[in-house]
Every structure is written in C-alpha cells, then in structure tokens.
Amino acid sequence: MQIKRNVLLNPGPATTTDSVKLAQVVTDICPREKEFGDLMEYCATEITKFVGDPKDYVTVLFGGSGTATVEAILSSVVPENGRILIIDNGAYGKRMCQITKIYKLDTVVFESSSIEPIDLKALEEVIKGEKGLTHLAMIHHETTTGLLNDIAAVGKLCATYKISFIVDSMSGFAAIPVDMKAMNIDYLAASSNKNIQGMAGIGFAICNKKALLATESIPMRNLYLNLYA
C-alpha cells in the first residue's frame, strides 16, 4: 500500500514514513485494560533509555504538544517558595517565560543572543548574584534559529550551585546525544513528532526519580498536567 506523502519543510512535526502510519492500523485497545498499560510502560522505558538508566529516570507521557509537557514540568516542580532562572535566547525560551508568568512563579530571565553561544561567565555571575535560585530552565536546540546550546556546561553550573536543571530538548532529543546523569539534568522535555519521527500528539517528560518524588509535597497547580500525579 503506497501512501501519498508531502515533504514537510516546517521545523516539526516531521514527515512520517508509511511504516509509522501503518503501525497505527491495529485492533482497538481499551485504555482501561492491562494491555494498554503494558504498552505505555514499554514505550516509556524505551524512551528513557535514550538518555538515562530506567533505574534512576522515568518517563511521564502526556497526550499533548511539546509545550504542554514543558508547562507540566514548570508548573509541577517549582515549589511555592522556589525561584527559577530561565535562559531566553529564542522563541521557546520566551515561551517558558510566558508559562512561569501565568503561574506566577518567581522568575529571573537571563537574556542571550539567539545566534551566539551563551556567555557562561555572565550566566554564572547572575546565578551567584541572585539569591534563592532553586531551578534553571533552558532550551537544548532552539528550533527557530538552529542554535545548539551547551547544556553540558550549564549542567555543571547547576551542579556547582545545587540548582535543579530543566531542559526542553524537543528538537534535540534522539538526534543529539544526551546523558541526563552526566549533564546533571533533572527534567527533560521532548515529543513524539520531531527526531523520533512519530505521529504528533504525545509529549513526554523524562525525570530524575529522586527529584520527581521530592515534588510530592508541592500543592497541585493543575490536574491533568501535574507531573507527580
């Protein structure tokens, strides 16, 4: 069976192959049955293996866009007395800032060029100067310009200053190698429709299990998008 294909030249979703399209033609599976749960668990485990050991990291799946997953992380993991620094060097960094503003999270914005590497010395000075930072969030690969950010270097800074590290890797995941443990990443967001080249509609957050379990006491700011739940 040959399926007509349009070659998509947008940043994502990606053009899908016939094999991906036809893999969906299966007997209906009830989402309340064990078979569905087993399938979800298998997918979550295999996704985790791209970037970390499933003993230490776990993938949480959402029916929603990549932005829904980023919103889930930001709204779920920053405590009421927390403070987050966001690196804004493109459209998706700005979107993170929009999300934290809506949730009224105490946010420090580090503005950087959308085409030049992040000034790590300047970033460290801001981290040292801003008291009470608990989290840092940034984009891995800024889709709008193609800028690849040095998440390993920023991860080292987060380790030094004991800050929880959040990375949006929508257009980096499964194309650019990531080791969450080595890069000190606690939460990584990605989706089904970029480098995995699956169908759009599934976002996922890959989480450090210890960090995720520690968020249990944070009051829920929403229902469906709560990461711990």
Q: Considering only CA atoms, which of 183, 177, 191, 184 is closest in space to residue 211?
A: 184
Helix (H) or strand (E) holding 84: strand 84-88
> pTM higher than 0.85, yes or no?
yes
For residue 109, pLDDT over 70 is answered with: yes
Q: What is the mean pLDDT of residues 73-90?
A: 98
For residue 11, pLDDT over 80 is answered with: no
Q: How far apart are CA 128 and CA 109, in angstroms?
A: 14
- Burial status of residue 18 (CB atoms within 10 A of its CB: 0-12, 13-18, 19 or more): exposed
* Count of beta carbons in the 10 Å neighbourhood of residue 109: 17
Strand-pair category, 202-208 with 57-63: antiparallel
pLDDT at position 143 is 87
* Cβ atoms of residues 118 and 154 within 8 Å: yes
* Alpha carbon 115 to its chain's center: 21
Q: How far apart are CA 61 and CA 196, in angstroms?
A: 15
Q: How far apart are CA 5 and CA 17, in angstroms?
A: 8
Q: What is the mean pLDDT of residues 11-37?
A: 89
Domain 18-217 has CATH 3.30.420.40: no
Q: How far apart are CA 229 and CA 215, in angstroms?
A: 10
More confident residue, 115 or 3: 115
Tokens representing 84 are 């987050």
Alpha helix stretches (DSSP H) within the chain = 18-22, 34-49, 66-77, 91-102, 120-129, 151-160, 209-213
Strand partners, 124: none
Tokens representing 197 are 């080249």
Give residue limits of the domains in the chain. Answer: 18-217
Residues of the chain with pLDDT > 70: what percent?
Answer: 100
Alpha helix stretches (DSSP H) within 23-166 = 34-49, 66-77, 91-102, 120-129, 151-160
**Amino acid in the structure at residue 217:** S
pLDDT tens digits, one per residue of 192-217 = 999 999 999 999 999 999 999 999 99
pLDDT tens digits, one per residue of 129-150 = 999 999 999 999 998 899 999 9
pLDDT at position 147 is 96
* Cβ-count burial 191-203 (b if 16+ within 10 Å, e if not): bbbbbbebeeebb
pLDDT at position 55 is 98
pLDDT at position 1 is 67
pLDDT tens digits, one per residue of 45-70 = 999 999 999 999 999 999 999 999 99
